[in-house]
Structure formats: C-alpha cells, structure tokens
C-alpha cells in the first residue's frame, strides 16, 4: 500500500446514485407479490448495495492488501458458520409455538 489511489468524485457520485436507485427499487418491489422471491430479491439487492459500499467507499477495490479482503471474507464466513450450523438444528426440528 505505497501510494494512495485517489478515487475520482465522478465514481463516488455514480455509486451514490446507484445506491439510491437500488433503495427505491427494493422498497417498491416489496409491494409486488413475488411469493417467496420477495425475500430473495430484497436480500440480493441489499448484498449488492453492501458490496458497492465495501468495494468503492471503503476502497477495497483499490487496495492491494490481501489481508483486508481475507479479514472481510473470514468474518462473513464465520457469521455463516453461526447461521448455517444453528439452522441445521432448527430446520430439523418442529417449529415452536407459544
């Protein structure tokens, strides 16, 4: 990470505009009946937004530091462990009730 890469303000504004559009889209699509895909769509859009913030605003796209990317992937992976292995239990026993 010797010299700093300075991102052009045009790119920042383009990302901002994209994020705003995606926000409007995700809120609007919620009113349309897509069955179970409503959840899928809004989570996919959320992930795209998060990726844009990470890659551009947090500079991960422009860094040569592999360790940064490793830390991010590891954290997401670990969260995955928590969710997936817990759901392995929840998905194989009956739903709860009051």
List residues binding another protein (CB under 8 A).
Answer: 1-2, 4, 6-7, 9, 12-13, 15-16, 19-20, 23-24, 26-27, 30-33, 38-39, 42-43, 45-46, 49-50, 53-54, 56-59, 65, 67-68, 71-72, 74-76, 78-79, 81-83, 85-90, 92-93, 95-98
In this structure, what token pair is assigned to residue 40? 């899928």
Q: What are the angstrom distances between the C-alpha of 34 and each of 21, 27, 38, 49, 80?
A: 20, 13, 5, 21, 26
Q: How far is the CB of 47 from another protein (least distance, A)?
A: 8
Question: Contact 23/87 with Cβ under 8 angstroms?
Answer: no
Please give the span between the terminal C-alpha atoms of the chain, in angstroms, as a whole number: 55
Element (H, E) at 56: none
In this structure, what token pair is assigned to residue 33? 């009946």
């Amino acid at each position: 990470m010797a010299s700093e890469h300075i991102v052009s303000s045009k790119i920042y504004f383009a990302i901002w505009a994209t994020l705003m559009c995606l926000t409007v889209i995700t809120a609007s699509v919620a009113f349309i009946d897509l069955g179970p895909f409503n959840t899928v769509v809004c989570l996919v859009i959320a992930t795209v937004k998060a990726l844009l913030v990470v890659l551009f605003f947090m500079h991960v796209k422009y860094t040569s530091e592999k360790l940064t990317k490793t830390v991010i992937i590891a954290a997401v992976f670990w969260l995955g462990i928590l969710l997936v292995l817990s759901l392995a239990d929840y998905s194989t026993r009956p739903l709860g009730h009051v």
